[in-house]
């Protein structure tokens, strides 16, 4: 009996672990968020068999694949059983690149172990098409703006805890969106994997009256916001958070004052042309002296000008939150009806 193949949405809705049987390199580049890597071939084996398929056809490629996998069948079967046991006997959801021989072969092996299996119709390639099409759909996007140091991310997360539909663009990118944004955070995903993470986050918010995102430029570090979503962000209204300068400086010092001074200096040098020689020198001297407030003040002049320029095309509704902490600020915005509750 052949295993059932499902389209992307039913496949994602099903229960059980998702096992990605593509090569380690394919998985590392990008994958369905939450999927577990269970490669049938190594990167080198995949390249060899793919070349053989192009040059000599399916038959020789299949035979070479069998020769490569044969000695590993027992170990692969044990891995399938382990994942099934860990999931309490739930169905194993399998996919490869196009839903072809690799996932079909692993599904056959699972079948010999009497493990229930579902396949992704069209494989990861179909998932990618689904993800990119998702960004082209209309979404009720709203933006939370505010100058650097206004605590926008913390405020969005506080709103999310109160049931507001929020997508943390910076959190998904592992980057705070400036020259200093990667400091103290895990490595960034590829743009492709960032798109996958965004697609899955959007999918969870279907039916929301509003979806709140932070006002960003088109790139968050090296991760580019998908074109379809970015176009909608450019047309979205902005609720602009305003905070006193000292509050903003204190917030930045709390984040960056604990980072490596050498890394802070390197990040400052990367924007030296935009800061100008005097501000760059003042910032570097302040970093060397561990005078974090002075260092941050030099940066704010530049980042404030960038922010003000980027916001000129948006309808803006300002709100002064003073020194309120994120929880109190979130409660105030909901109480005033500036943000729709759950």
User: What is the widest separation between alpha-carbon atoms in the chain?
Assistant: 73
Six token digits for residue 57: 């056809």
Dump the DSSP string for 5-48: EE-HHHHHHS-S-EEE-S-HHHHHH---TT-EE--SS-HHHHHH
Six token digits for residue 280: 């760059």
**238 — phi, psi (to 5°)?**
-120, 130
The active-site residue, picked from 96, 223, 296, 306, is: 96
37: nearest Cα among 58, 23, 52: 23
Which residues does residue 320 pair with via DSSP β-bridges, in sequence order? 242
Can 96 be counted among the known catalytic residues? yes
Q: Which residue do the tokens 């979503």 mark? A: 229
Question: b vs e for 101-114, b when ≥16 Cβ sit within 10 Å of the residue's Cβ?
Answer: bbbbbbbebbeeee
Point out the residues that are catalytic. 96
């Amino acid at each position: 009996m052949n295993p059932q193949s499902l389209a992307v949405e039913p496949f994602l809705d099903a229960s059980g672990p998702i096992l990605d049987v593509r090569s380690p390199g394919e998985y590392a580049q990008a994958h369905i968020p939450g999927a577990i890597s269970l490669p049938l071939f190594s990167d080198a084996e995949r390249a060899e068999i793919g070349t053989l398929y192009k040059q000599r056809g399916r038959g020789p490629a299949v035979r070479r694949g069998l020769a490569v996998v044969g000695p590993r069948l027992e170990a692969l079967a044990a891995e399938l059983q382990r994942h099934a046991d860990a999931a309490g006997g739930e169905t194993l959801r399998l996919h490869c690149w196009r839903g072809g021989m690799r996932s079909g072969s692993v599904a056959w092996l699972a079948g010999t172990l009497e493990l229930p299996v579902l396949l992704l119709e069209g494989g990861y390639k179909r998932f990618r098409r689904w993800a990119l099409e998702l960004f082209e759909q209309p979404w009720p996007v709203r933006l939370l703006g505010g100058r650097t140091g206004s605590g926008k991310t913390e405020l969005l997360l506080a709103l999310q805890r109160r049931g507001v539909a929020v997508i943390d663009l910076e959190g998904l990118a592992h980057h705070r969106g400036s020259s200093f944004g990667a400091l103290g955070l895990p490595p960034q995903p590829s743009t492709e994997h960032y798109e996958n993470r965004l697609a899955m986050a959007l999918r969870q918010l279907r039916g929301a009256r509003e979806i709140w995102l932070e006002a960003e430029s088109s790139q968050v570090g090296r991760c580019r916001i998908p074109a379809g979503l970015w176009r909608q962000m450019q047309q979205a209204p902005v609720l602009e958070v305003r905070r006193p300068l000292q509050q903003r400086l204190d917030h930045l010092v709390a984040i960056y004052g604990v980072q490596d001074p050498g890394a802070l200096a390197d990040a400052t040098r990367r924007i030296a042309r935009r800061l100008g020689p005097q501000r760059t020198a003042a910032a570097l001297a302040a970093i060397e002296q561990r005078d974090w407030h002075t260092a941050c003040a030099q940066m704010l002049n530049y980042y404030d000008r960038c922010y003000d320029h980027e916001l000129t095309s948006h309808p803006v509704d300002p709100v002064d939150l003073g020194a309120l902490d994120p929880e109190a600020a979130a409660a105030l915005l909901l109480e005033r009806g500036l943000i729709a509750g759950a």
